[in-house]
């Protein structure tokens, strides 16, 4: 359940940004989460709602964009989608090297002016 500590880190980031902007309320939090980031999105949502209580971001809408995992074949250079961390190139059989899919980022927040 590392989602709870990730949710707390996200809320720390969000409340610090809101405070720096002098915002009274955060209406929306936009996140990017790679499908191989090791994060369960449903669990993260649940934890963000809990971690946001009694903060300026309480009840904020959560816009979570999932980034598909893509790996590169070290032999033929093909870019293939990866369902797990261990996946091989359908042409060469070589193990793919992950290029995208481990993102875990706060992209933006929308605040009351």
Partner 1 sequence: MCDSCGCDHGPGGVTIALPGGRPAAVAEDHQHGKTLRVEQEVLGKNNHLAARNREWFRAHNILALNLVSSPGSGKTTILEQTIRRLSGAIPVAVIEGDQQTLLDAERIDATGVPVVQVNTGAGCHLDAGMVHRALHALTPPDHSLLLIENVGNLVCPAMFDLGEAAKAVIISVTEGEDKPLKYPAMFAAARLCLINKIDLLPHLDFSVERCLEYARRANPDLTFFILSARTGDGMDGWLTWLHDAVRPAA
Binding site for partner 1 (CB under 8 A): 1-2, 4-6, 9-10, 12-14, 17, 21, 23, 25, 27-28, 31, 36, 38, 61, 63, 84-86, 95, 104-113
Q: How far is the CB of 56 from partner 1 (least distance, A)?
A: 12
Closer residue to partner 1, CB minimum distance, 16 or 68: 16
Q: How far is the CB of 91 from partner 1 (least distance, A)?
A: 18
Q: How far is the CB of 55 from partner 1 (least distance, A)?
A: 15
Q: Cβ neighbours of residue 98 under 8 Å, at least 6 residues apart?
A: 36, 69, 70, 71, 82, 85
Adjacent-strand bridge partners of 98: 71
β-pair type (79-81, 70-72): antiparallel
Closer residue to partner 1, CB minimum distance, 28 or 91: 28
Secondary structure letter of residue 69 according to DSSP: P
Q: Backbone dihedral region of 27: left (phi > 0), alpha (psi from -120 to 50 degrees) or beta?
A: alpha
């Amino acid at each position: 359940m590392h989602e709870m500590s990730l949710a707390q880190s996200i809320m720390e980031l969000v409340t610090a940004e809101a405070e720096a902007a002098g915002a009274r309320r955060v209406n929306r939090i936009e996140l990017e989460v790679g499908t191989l980031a090791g994060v369960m999105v449903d669990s993260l949502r649940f934890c963000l709602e809990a971690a946001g209580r009694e903060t300026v971001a309480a009840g904020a809408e959560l816009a979570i964009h999932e980034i598909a995992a893509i790996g590169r074949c070290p032999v033929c250079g093909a870019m293939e989608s990866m369902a797990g961390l261990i996946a091989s190139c359908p042409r060469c059989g070589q193990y793919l090297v992950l290029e995208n899919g481990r993102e875990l980022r706060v992209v933006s927040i929308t605040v009351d002016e």
